[in-house]
Structure 1
Amino acid sequence: MLNRLTNSLDFHGQALSLRSERQRLIASNIANADTPGYVARDMNFSQALKEATGMQASAGLAATRPGHIATAGGARAEANLEYAVASQTNLDRNTVDMDRERANFADNSVRFEATLRFINSNVRTMIDAIKGQ
């Protein structure tokens, strides 16, 4: 039982950390919306979560240097960063689409909050079980 709880909390902790990293990327994109030549970045969240939680073997890929696949305990999945494709051509070659970034920001915020609430619920349930209520 304890092992299952620990695994669940670890999984959701990794998800929370990755959501935070994705929010940082999206915020960086928004901040650079007017920077000429800036290429928006995003992460493949599901792939990053699989790698961070060890749910998928690295498919024969080996880290060639520390932090190549992930850093900070698997939280920053640099290998899963992708470049955004421009939705329309710009003279300054900036690929930030503010509508897309706002939608991604809102979606990621809602998912971050849901993960946080799930963790809080699990902890409360365990505390209630320990207290015997």
Structure 2
Amino acid sequence: MSIDFTKATGVHPDALKLRAERTKILASNLANESTPGYQARDIDFAAALRQSQQDGEAGLSLMAGDDAELKYRVPFHPAQDGSTVELGVEQAAFSQNASDFATSLQFLNIKLKGLAKAIAGQ
């Protein structure tokens, strides 16, 4: 009897991949905070995760550099230089994403430890 790890681990591997990609996007926004005219980008995490669950590995199109899933962030207070990056908003989004990444990683770790115990017969 074989173990199907995609079913055993659930949504968490896809969530980790998307969170890692979102970290790159948010870091790019933060790095370009002082760049005039820079347009802050982000992804709709829930929609991207739903799409990855429906399409499997092919659904993670952000990994291949596809910008179709990226959305422009609408600023609360537009800057005069045309930049839509707001430092506080980006820092909060980055922090929340890091926390969510750690949570998904912990859930995946718990599931894998449970599988290891089941395999060992404990």
Q: How does 1:1-133 map to 2 (within 5 A)?
A: 2-3=3-4, 5-9=5-9, 11-54=11-54, 70=61, 72=63, 78-133=67-122
Give unmatched runs, 5+ long, in structure 2. none
Q: How large is the RMSD of aligned CA atoms in angstroms? A: 2.5
Single out whichever of 84-93 and 13-22 deviates more from structure 2. Answer: 84-93
Structure 2 CA distance for aligned equivalents of residues 21 and 71 of structure 1? 7
1:77-115 CA deviation, whole Å, 9 max, x = no partner? Answer: 633211011211212100001111111011100100010
Structure 1: 5+ residue stretches without partners = 56-66
TM-score for both structures, normalised by structure 1: 0.79
Q: CA deviation at 1:6?
A: 2.5
Q: Which residue identity lines up with residue 70 of structure 1 in the other structure?
A: S
TM-score of the superposed pair, with normalisation by structure 2: 0.85
Q: Percent identity?
A: 36
Task: Name the CA distance, whole Å, in 2 between partners of 1:122 and 1:77.
Answer: 31
User: For this pair of structures, how many residues does the alignment match?
Assistant: 119
Deviations 1:41-95 (A, max 9, x none): 000000000111117xxxxxxxxxxx8x8254xx866332110112112121000
Distance 1:42 1:97 in 2: 13
Moved over 3 A (4+): 75-78
Structure with more of its chain in helix, by fraction: 2
